[in-house]
Amino acid sequence: MQTRQFSSALSNSKSIRSSKRPKMKRKNYGLLILLLLVHLQIHFSSGKNDGVCISKGGRFPPYTSEGKPPKKVSKGAKDLTLCRVFRKKTCCDVAQTYPASLSARRLASTGEASQECLQLWELLECSICDPQIGVQPGPPLICASFCDRVYQECADAYFSMDANKQVIAPCGLNEFVCGKAAEWVSNGTELCHAAGFAVKLSDDAYVGAEEASCYGGRASLDSIADSWKSSRSEFPRKAVNLGGLEYFQQWVQEMPFSEKISWAVGGLVLTSGLLFMRLDQCILAFFISSRFHI
């Protein structure tokens, strides 16, 4: 009688243990799934990405390399028509640089812009091709100080409202209403916003944070300079004129540091050919001045 009770109790305990095992497994799997979801939520909420191209939206054409890392652009039909300093590593192709070229040409022809305005505006348009900007979500993020510099030089240039894209753009031949930039906006931040860009108000905030880096500030100068160094072998040799080197050395030396940054970055990016002669001299003078502390 006792043996039967013991064996019955033993079988009952085994059945209880066996019935509990699947429940324990289900609980463990549920915990793992919960942890995974929490991890993914933290990852995406942090704003980080895997360094792949993210289309900017708004007035900016989508990247054909959407979801892929920035890469070298091959020569041919899709080669960059502007911003060629980024050819070695960019999310851009002709789909992005062709509209930027049109914008620069309109500003030069019917926009009545000064050369300084043309250079800085072209640099601003090239932000979409910067590989650091290309992997960030949202419109190109521009440093407020650079926006102020653009406004300072372009306040008297003529712009119009693009009714389709709801942004201001350099005035074209067929525009009915054109006005100076200073009549549309009152400062650099408003100008960049009105042109479809995002603006980082403090250039010094979040230093070292990849997702918060802005275009046109001191931090971006080094990366653009590296891009220029890697691609300078593609520049025409005849574009470098050493005859005016002493003049440009003195010019750079007397220039305030904030202007050195703008002109140096502008010269590094503007390789489309319109202003290449003068800007290449500026680049050379800037680097000699920086290297030897002239």
Give the pLDDT confidence of 20-36 residue by residue, as tens digits: 444 444 555 555 444 44
Integer-rounded Cα radius of gyration of the chain: 28
CA dihedral 207, 127, 138, 258 (to 10 degrees): 40
Mean pLDDT of 126-136: 94
Q: Rounded to an integer, what distance in angstroms lies between the CA atom of residue 215 and that of residue 218?
A: 9
**Among 147, 168, 171, 146, residue whose Cα is nearest residue 157:** 171
CA atoms of 264 and 218, how far apart (whole Å): 11
Measured CA to CA, the distance from residue 282 to residue 269 in angstroms comes to 12
Q: Which amino acid is at 189?
A: T
Q: Which residues lie closer than 8 Å to 178 by C-beta, 6 or more apart? A: 110, 158, 159, 160, 171
Parse the chain into domains and list their residue ranges. Answer: 84-292
113: phi then psi, degrees, rounded to nearest 5: -85, 150
Other CB atoms within 10 Å distance of the CB of residue 88: 18
Tell me the CA distances in angstroms from 229 to 35, 213, 225, one per residue in order.
46, 21, 6
Sequence-separated (6 or more) residues with CB below 8 Å from residue 137 = 47, 49, 54
pLDDT digits (tens, 9 = 90+) for 239-272: 334 333 443 344 444 444 444 444 444 444 444 4
Query: Is residue 38 over pLDDT 60?
Result: no
How many angstroms from the chain centroid is the CA of residue 230? 19
In a 10 Å sphere around its CB, with 0-12 CB exposed, 13-18 middle and 19+ buried, how is residue 180 labelled?
Answer: middle
List pLDDT tens digits, range 207-243: 444 445 899 887 666 666 666 555 554 544 443 343 3
Token pair of 195, please?
């042109």
Q: In what order do the strands lie in the sheet with 179-180?
A: 167-170, 158-162, 179-180
